[in-house]
Amino acid sequence: MKKVQFTETVLRDGQQSLMATRLPFSDYEEILPIMDQAGYYSMECWGGATFDACLRYLNEDPWERLKKLRKSLPHTKIQMLFRGQNILGYKHYHDDVVEKFLELSIINGVDVIRIFDALNDFRNIRSSLEAVRKYGGDRVIASGCMPYTQSPVHTVDKYVQMSKELVSMGFDTISIKDMAGVMSPYEAEHLIKGIKDAVGDVPVVLHTHCTTGMAYMTSIKAIESGLDVLDTATSCFSGGTAQPATETLFYAMRQYGYETGLNETALNKVNDFFKPLKQKYIDNGVLLPKSMGTDAQALVYKVPGGMLSNMMANLIEMHAFDKFEAALDEIPAVRKDLGYPPLVTPLSQMVGNQAVANVITGERYKQVSKEVRNYIKGEYGIAPAPISQELQDKILGVGNTPVDCRVEDSKRTGEDFRRAQDALGDLCRCEEDVMSYICYPNQTISYLEAEKRKQENVCTYSIEPIVN
């Protein structure tokens, strides 16, 4: 029997896409035992923006959340999204920090780690893979993930080539991440067939978003072309900027004669549970109707929706909205000059802001941000295609070339960890706190100070016995 499996995303990308990751653990704790029986390939419920949102907005310890998830999901693979050398942020961390973060993630219960680099520079995911092997052995699945983008250099052949490279590096599965939801059914067919032919038995996973309306057609075509795992969200948290719906694809694929391993009763109980939660967040304004609709403009302009709205806001702020069309035309030119980076955060903002600067000043690259300079220096990794020589000479000086090593290569000493531990002082309770501080220092300090105050109050006033 033909087979396809599903990764449920409601607890990570579903809620991240629709309601800016504001879903607290306590809201969904109760449904976890049912989700544990649903038969998902995995549940994506940690990493991505959940870590930051826990500390910044929800007054939750992300590590505590992970421990509780592990306890409530004894039969389900817990999956996290990991930005390779960027961990869960946007700057590059040293290898020892990356390794420690993954060691603690694995100790606390993660089973599947999807690892990507915004530029598809695989040097930036190698240390993560090594750490997963070191601490997870064969138990933990390392998924090599490629952000999907469209450009003259991002051909099917290129993605097939990259998949082979990921397999030879030692990744267990290959995932394709279409963050803007722009992959068409036609592209999915050629891409998935090409990759499956090249990698043989290695499972291939597709992650996409409904943003432009392509996702259902693309998902079906991908499954017909041999896809092994698809990311979906329970139906009330699906659609719009989130993933396609779990139940819908379950019913569709069942008719096609596919074995999914899913438990229909559990799937429907899960959706019934999340419906009133969704309504609560619509009512209090956290979940905006805008994120629930379909918007095909990303297909028209070939840039992600978030990048367009960001650009419009910038132009309005500068009282230069009349330059919108010119800035739009400038985007492909800037992207070409920069060697066609995938338009994913933070590169999408960098390209958008540069296009705006080029048309506002009336002279291309008269103003260049620190981020774009660092990118041209090679600090983000290797661009997919060569950067314009003229631009490179202008930024680096004639005759100078970008760095060809990774900026992290120089250091692997544990120094960052010790410094963070010192900075936390007596607020530090465990190694996990140190990692939180390294990733999000201010948020971690505020969280731990609040915890400490709570603790002191408990010690002074509580008469409850101490239970271990």
CA distance 80 to 274: 21
Contact window for Co ion (CB under 5 A) among 7-15, 29-37, 101-109, 118-126 = 7-15
Structure token pair of residue 322: 């009349």
- For residue 45, give the 3-state DSSP assignment: strand
Of 114 and 278, the one with the shorter C-beta distance to Co ion is 114
From the CB of 18, what's the least distance to Co ion, in Å?
A: 11
Q: C-beta of 446: minimal distance to Co ion in Å?
A: 28
Q: Which of 10, 12, 13, 245 binds Co ion (CB under 5 A)?
A: 13
Closest by CA to 171, choosing from 129, 116, 137, 125, is 129
Minimum CB separation of residue 110 from Co ion in Å reads 18
CB of 8 or CB of 13, closer to Co ion: 13
CB of 329 to Co ion, least distance (A): 28
The least distance separating Co ion from the CB of residue 50, rounded to whole angstroms, comes to: 12
Q: Which stretch binds Co ion (CB under 5 A): 10-18, 96-104, 341-349, 447-455?
A: 10-18
User: What is the spatial distance between Cα 242 and Cα 18, in angstroms, rounded to a whole number?
Assistant: 6
Judged by beta carbon, residue 253 or residue 344, the one nearer Co ion is: 344
Cβ distance to Co ion smaller for residue 48 or 381: 48
Pairing of strands 112-116, 141-147: parallel
Residue 245 and residue 233 in contact, taking contact as beta carbons nearer than 8 Å = yes
SS3 assignment, position 3: strand
Q: How many Å apart are CA 384 and CA 375, to the nearest integer?
A: 12
As measured in angstroms, the least distance from the Cβ of 206 to Co ion is: 11
Which of 27, 15, 39, 14 lies closest to 68 in space, CA to CA?
27
Closest CA to 331 of 354, 298, 360: 354
Residue for token pair 């993954």: 102
b/e map of 239-273 (b: 16 or more CB within 10 Å)?
bbbbbbbbbebbebbeeeebebebbeebbbbbbeb
Enumerate residues 301-330 that contact Co ion by CB under 5 A: none
- Contact segment (CB under 5 A) with Co ion among 6-14, 264-272, 277-285, 445-453 equals 6-14
What burial letters (b/e) apply to 54-73, b meaning 16+ CB within 10 Å? Answer: bbbebebbbbebbebbbebb
Q: Verify binding: residue 231, Co ion, rule CB under 5 A.
A: no
Nearest approach, Cβ of residue 448 and Co ion (Å) = 30
The Cβ-side half-sphere exposure at 376, using a 13 Å CA radius, reads 27
- Give residue 304's identity as a one-letter amino acid code: P
Residue 141 has φ and ψ, to the nearest 5°, of -90, 125
Nearest approach in angstroms of CB 148 to Co ion is 11
| Span of 8-16, 68-76, 136-144, 359-367 interacting with Co ion by CB under 5 A | 8-16
Give whichever of 241 and 260 is closer to Co ion, judged by the CB atom: 241
Find the residue with minimal CB distance to Co ion: 13
In the complex, the smallest distance separating the C-beta of residue 208 from Co ion, rounded to whole angstroms, is 8
Query: How far apart are the C-alpha atoms of 382 and 332, rounded to whole Å?
Result: 19
Query: What is the DSSP track for 402-419?
Result: ---S-GGGG--SSHHHHH
Min dist. Cβ of residue 209 to Co ion (A): 6
Q: How far is the CB of 9 from Co ion (least distance, A)?
A: 8
Beta strands 204-208 and 229-232 are parallel
312, containing H or E segment: helix 305-317
Considering the complex, what minimum distance in angstroms separates the CB of residue 240 from Co ion?
12
When the beta carbons of 179 and 424 are compared against Co ion, the nearer one is 179
Q: How far apart are CA 454 and CA 463, in angstroms?
A: 15
Residues 6+ apart with CB under 8 A from 26: none
* Binding-residue total with Co ion (CB under 5 A): 1
Give 179 or 334: the residue with its C-beta nearer to Co ion.
179
Instruction: Mark the segment that binds Co ion (CB under 5 A) among 9-17, 58-66, 135-143, 287-295.
Output: 9-17
Site residues, Co ion (CB under 5 A):
13
